[in-house]
Amino acid sequence: MNAIEEVARRAGVSRATVTRVVQGHRYVSAGTRARVQQVVQELDYRPSSAARTLASGRAGALGVVLGGPLDPESATWVAAVERATRLTGRALVVRTVPDGCPGSLTRAVQELAAQQVDGIALLCPSQEVDLPRLRDAAGTVPLQSAHDWEGEHNTWTSSGVLAVRHLRSVGHAVVHVVVGDPEAARAQALLRRSTVGPSTARVRVVTVGRDPAGTGPTVATALATSGASAVVAESDRTAWHLLSDLRRLGVRVPEDVALVSCGDAPGAAFSRPGLTVVRHHLAGPATRLVDGLLHGPAVRPPSAGPPDVELVVRGSCGTTAGRLAAAG
Amino acid sequence: MNAIEEVARRAGVSRATVTRVVQGHRYVSAGTRARVQQVVQELDYRPSSAARTLASGRAGALGVVLGGPLDPESATWVAAVERATRLTGRALVVRTVPDGCPGSLTRAVQELAAQQVDGIALLCPSQEVDLPRLRDAAGTVPLQSAHDWEGEHNTWTSSGVLAVRHLRSVGHAVVHVVVGDPEAARAQALLRRSTVGPSTARVRVVTVGRDPAGTGPTVATALATSGASAVVAESDRTAWHLLSDLRRLGVRVPEDVALVSCGDAPGAAFSRPGLTVVRHHLAGPATRLVDGLLHGPAVRPPSAGPPDVELVVRGSCGTTAGRLAAAG
DNA sequence: ATGAAAGCGCTAACAA
DNA sequence: TTGTTAGCGCTTTCAT
């Protein structure tokens, strides 16, 4: 006999009523509700999510597809999305696409979409993604990319503004921004507003390629010969490699070049000098992303709440230690 | 009309046959199979996983519950499990339990077990877990803890042996091992064999508590006053904090104390000195964990294959840079 | 090698 | 406020 039916029988009601109680519906008399809940307890009744999904058409889960490995950097985002998802009572299915190539991404999205999830969050920091194509693969399942999300209010856009503004404010007229693929979503976001507004400094983009370690020396050399005095790195890993490559060239950080990076990985404080970073607070963005997936994008961009980015000053930028928050 | 029924109709077969073809069953004539596959292509037919789960009783997913946040350290494990899971064609559901308390863990396991997954991997590095209780909560769903897994062949056990052996081999007769909670699964595993075998050195355990940053100075002081000359840290974070706390006390690393940590987080190479670490290769362990969940634990412990741990020598241990691999 | 038919456990109209 | 009923889309015996 069905679990739900057993509950119904013992409580002397119909299955429908059990469903109503379990789902917290209105229109159940207090007495009935109590009786049913009692039986639910006794029997330790747990609805089968598969049956529920099949009958309701809702999956009770969200998916996240990572266009790359689940490395410590992406983990931060995944963690935030997981939390936001859990708070809605849903499960989070994680799918990585180590090679990050378009075909694999598409397949991953299709697989997730195949009834498994109610929405898909895309986390592809380092590559260009064809959103329309992926939306198509997702069929009716909503899909949002964390990096294109919220336009000007995007975490990375705010990071760029904050980092450049800080370096500008301490006297650097030209700021070099080091990114992997300049076409990638994250880099695009980072650069979106770096060059405008009161924080204006001349910004030059320097490209590293997919692997921060790969072309490091070349980049460091380029930076050194172009006389760069201020650098923003897209990630802590890039910053670390820059740090060590620059040292190898005899360029001192922060004396000769001031360095700010984005992320604040656990080791960021422990390199020498410690990395000045733009730290990301992802609770807000992740929550909005999840809500957007579930209820459609918000009509208006977020306004209230604590800022999503914060400057943590350590040794690498050559200014006094401390913190600066900004609304981006 | 059912998707599968439509396929069946167009291919001129029954639904059962479509199922057989889709699942790669034997006993389908080549002709029939081809015809069905043709139609499957045309219609881009994707079986509903909910319906499949309901009808078959198999979920097509594995779950991982994290007894703590999804931080960069756990991310490495999750990534490995995700990969292993994906290679079996299954999805991975991630559930964190930020507070890590027994009640929450139990609830998390119950939720996952409620029809959602075919097996659960437990990742609780920093706390004692009551495995029987959690198994009970999981009901019929198999559950394994990554940290109790494989006994002597456990990754952390091997790490302990390797780290202590190395320090011993360069002349340290006493090795201090710094762990969070000594009752926690990871610490237990780390210490399991550190004190025995040809690598014998006297091992003293020093406890940090849950947060590596929390009691750091105290621990560093204790280490300094006890005249420790060699230290193994349970994690890179612990090691970093130790590094900075020791420096503050005027204790030099590696001149005064040699330090080895476990993990090899992205920043490990960039602290000064760089951290000598035991790096973990989790592909093997994760694969075996997943297989164990799916087909029951292997009869015999793993023997072949590359070692799961590797010593990466950098500055912090005071020996020449290089690498040493060991079968643990 | 293939088909028929009985569910898997629950939800959601609709009726009462 | 509660019960009735018709599925949700697929798998799996059991026959053939």
Q: CB-based contacts with strand C under 7 Å?
A: A 2-5, 15-16, 18-19, 22-23, 45-48, 51-52, 54-58; B 12-17, 20, 26-29, 31-33, 51, 54-55
- Do the domains A155-276 and A3-56 match in fold? no
The edge-to-edge listing of strands for the beta sheet with B91-96 is A143-145, A120-123, A61-66, A91-96, B91-96, B61-66, B120-123, B143-145
Q: How far is B273 from chain A (nearest CA, A)?
A: 9
Hey, is the C-beta of A286 within 8 angstroms of any chain B C-beta?
no
| Contact (CB, 8 A) for A120 and A141 | yes
**Any idea what DSSP says for residue B275?**
P
Domain B3-56 falls under CATH 1.10.150.530: no
The yes-or-no verdict on residue B177 having pLDDT over 70 is: yes
Top pLDDT among A211 and B179 is at B179
pLDDT score of B212:
72
Instruction: Dig out the tokens for A141 from the structure.
Output: 């399942």
- More confident position, A323 or B229: B229
Q: What is the mean pLDDT of residues B178-198?
A: 82
CA distances A127 to A209, A211, B328, Å, are 10, 12, 38
The CATH fold of domain B61-145: Rossmann fold (3.40.50)
**Residue bearing tokens 């920091």:** A125
Order of strands, sheet of A174-179, starting from the edge strand that comes earlier in the sequence: A202-207, A174-179, A230-233, A258-263, A276-280, A309-313, A322-326
pLDDT greater than 90 at residue B301: no
B139-148, B193-202, B217-226, range with the lowest pLDDT? B193-202
Cβ-defined contact of A93 to B96 (cutoff 8 Å): no
Contact (CB<8Å) A72/B115 = no
Give the residue with greater pLDDT, B315 vs A323.
Answer: B315
Q: Do B96 and A86 touch (CB under 8 A)?
A: yes
Domain ranges of chain B: 3-56, 61-145, 155-276
Q: Would you give the DSSP letter of residue A107?
A: H
Report CA(A8)–C1'(C13) in Å, whole number.
20
Does the pLDDT at position B298 exceed 50? yes
The two three-digit tokens of residue B33, written as one number: 């199979």
- What confidence tens digit (pLDDT) does each residue in B55-104 have? 888 899 999 999 999 988 899 999 999 999 999 989 999 999 999 999 99
Q: What pLDDT score was predicted for residue A136?
A: 92
Q: Is A54 on the interface with B (CB under 8 A)?
A: yes
Q: Is the pLDDT of residue B242 over 70?
A: yes
CA distance to A128, A258, A280, A314, per residue, from A201 (Å): 27, 14, 23, 22
Per-residue pLDDT of chain A (328 residues; tens, 9 = 90+): 688 888 988 899 988 899 989 988 888 888 889 989 999 998 889 899 999 998 888 899 999 999 998 988 899 999 999 999 999 999 999 999 999 899 999 999 999 998 789 999 999 988 889 999 999 999 889 999 998 888 778 899 999 999 999 998 888 988 999 998 888 889 988 888 776 555 456 777 888 777 777 665 788 888 888 888 999 999 999 999 999 999 999 999 999 999 999 999 999 999 989 999 999 999 999 999 999 999 888 776 666 777 899 999 999 998 864 444 443 3
CA distance B58 to chain A (A): 10
Q: Do A93 and B91 touch (CB under 8 A)?
A: yes
Angle ∠(B265,B266,B272) on CA atoms, nearest 5? 90
Q: Which of B312, B267, B303 is nearest to B73 (CA)?
A: B267
The pLDDT of residue B306 is 77
Please report, for residues A90, B115, B141, the alpha-carbon distance to residue B118 in angstroms, rounded to integers and kept in the order given.
18, 8, 6
Query: pLDDT of B16-29, one tens digit each?
Result: 899 989 988 888 88
Q: What is Dmax (Cα atoms) for chain A?
A: 83
pLDDT of residue A154: 87
- Average pLDDT in the B221-244 region? 91
- In strand D, the nucleotides that come within 7 Å of a protein beta carbon are 1-5, 7-13
Q: What is the residue-averaged pLDDT of chain B? A: 87
Q: Which CATH class is domain A155-276?
A: alpha beta
Q: Which of residues 116-135 of B touch A (CB under 8 A)?
A: 116
Tell me which residue in A76, A79, A267 faces B265 most closely, judged by beta carbons.
Answer: A267
Interchain pair B96, A83: CB under 8 A: yes
Nearest CA in chain B to A77: B70
Q: Which residue has the higher pLDDT, B321 or B159?
A: B159
Number of residues in chain A: 328
Q: Please say whether the beta carbons of A193 and A226 come within 8 A.
A: no
Q: In angstroms, how far is C12 C1' from A49 CA?
A: 16
Angle at B258 between CA A244 and CA B269, to 5 degrees: 20
Residues 6+ apart with CB under 8 A from A185: A124, A125, A127, A128, A129, A145, A147, A148
Q: Residue closest to D3, CA→C1'?
A: A14
Pick the residue from chain A with its C-alpha nearest to B79.
Answer: A70
Are A282 and A77 in contact, with CB atoms under 8 Å apart?
yes
Measured from the CB, is A59 under 7 Å from any atom of strand D? no
Per-residue pLDDT at B144 exceeds 80: yes
Question: How many other CB atoms are there within 10 angstroms of residue A217's CB atom?
Answer: 15
